[in-house]
Amino acid sequence: MSNAAAIRPGRPALPEWVRRLPEYLMIWVPLLLSAAHLVSFSLWTIWISFTPSTLIPVSGWVGLRNYSAVAASRNWQIAFDNLLLFGSAFVLLSLVTGLALAILLDQRIRGENVLRSVFLYPLAVSFVVTGTVWSWLLNPGLGIQKLVHDLGWTSFKFDWLIDRDMAIWTIVIAAIWQSSGFAMALFLAGLRSVDTDIIKAAQIDGAGPIRIYRRIILPSLWPITITVVVIQLQFAISTFDLVRALTNGGPGIATQLPALVVYDLMFQRSLLGRGAAAAVLMLLILLAVLLPYAAWRYVQRRRAAHA
């Protein structure tokens, strides 16, 4: 409408800002609202983490006492170690699985659409459902181990769910099942966007398929790889519902993760101050992933602008 008014002859053109008002409104209002929401609640949480709040938020100042209490607790230490293990194993394995699936699907096979949906489907399932189903599958008395025993191989053992050293891997397994399809979809899109002329040129030069993948296709995938890594990492850091449904932090407290600790402190133990401190620590971990990513993006853009 504003454009039409501007083109119509014989009328003074509306000022620039009036014509662009709808655009401004559409961009800035939601942006400001969500930023205000995000920032104000983050600041609020940071403030609470320095107060002696327990049942309800109260003012007061206890300095870093909540932080030292959280950092000294066994729950947090176990959760942090688990996060390192779970985060790296999950990201790496889902990357490898996703890439492998994408490459296999990229062979112009029949039924690709069906297979793609099958692999992507777990993503549509809620994490609570994934966790519950895998808790049955992995339970030695009900699931895979029992099945193999019933088939006759009675010495077979697969009891990671109740083994406190291995239980964290059951979460890795379930998380990979859930989200490697997502990595696959991104990689597949990447594979399809590689310039076919280059591939044809390589074929004419006599390069075999393995060499083409290794030297041409995979190197062009690395921006997508970084995107997948960052998305999966931030998922790993904030994992909550999956663990809650699968192991609920157990056996004992062997599969605690930071988000579980935050929830536990705030809502089970009614220690708002400590819970907020744990939440802020989680935010810091997240920033440790996101800031380098943002820096990398910035460098990339600068480089692209100069090229």
Euclidean distance between CA atoms 80 and 283, whole angstroms: 13
In whole angstroms, give the CA distance from residue 28 to residue 237.
30
Rounded Cα distance, 259 and 135, in Å: 19
CB of 177 to other proteins, least distance (A): 18
Q: Minimal distance in Å, beta carbon 271 to other proteins?
A: 5
Of 220 and 248, the one with the shorter C-beta distance to other proteins is 248
Closest contact distance (angstroms) between CB of 36 and other proteins is 21
Minimum Å gap between C-beta 125 and other proteins is 20
95 close to 229: Cβ distance less than 8 angstroms: yes
Residue 8 — φ and ψ, nearest 5°? -55, 130
Closer residue to other proteins, CB minimum distance, 116 or 149:
149
112, 198 Cβ separation under 8 angstroms: no
Least Å distance, CB 136 to other proteins, is: 10
CA distance 20 to 293: 32
| Cβ distance to other proteins smaller for residue 184 or 243 | 243
| Rounded Cα distance, 53 and 61, in Å | 10
Residue 66 Cβ vs other proteins, minimum distance, rounded to whole Å: 13
Report CA Rg, the chain: 25
Closer to other proteins by CB, 243 or 285: give it: 243
Cβ nearer to other proteins, comparing 230 with 260 = 260
State the DSSP H helix or E strand holding residue 84, giving kind and residue range, or none if neither.
helix 74-105
Applying CB under 8 A, which residues contact other proteins? Answer: 54-57, 69, 72-75, 135, 139-142, 159, 161-162, 164, 247-248, 250-254, 264, 267-271
For residues 129 and 253, which CB has a smaller minimum distance to other proteins in the complex? 253
For the record, the structure tokens of 151 come out as 């088939």
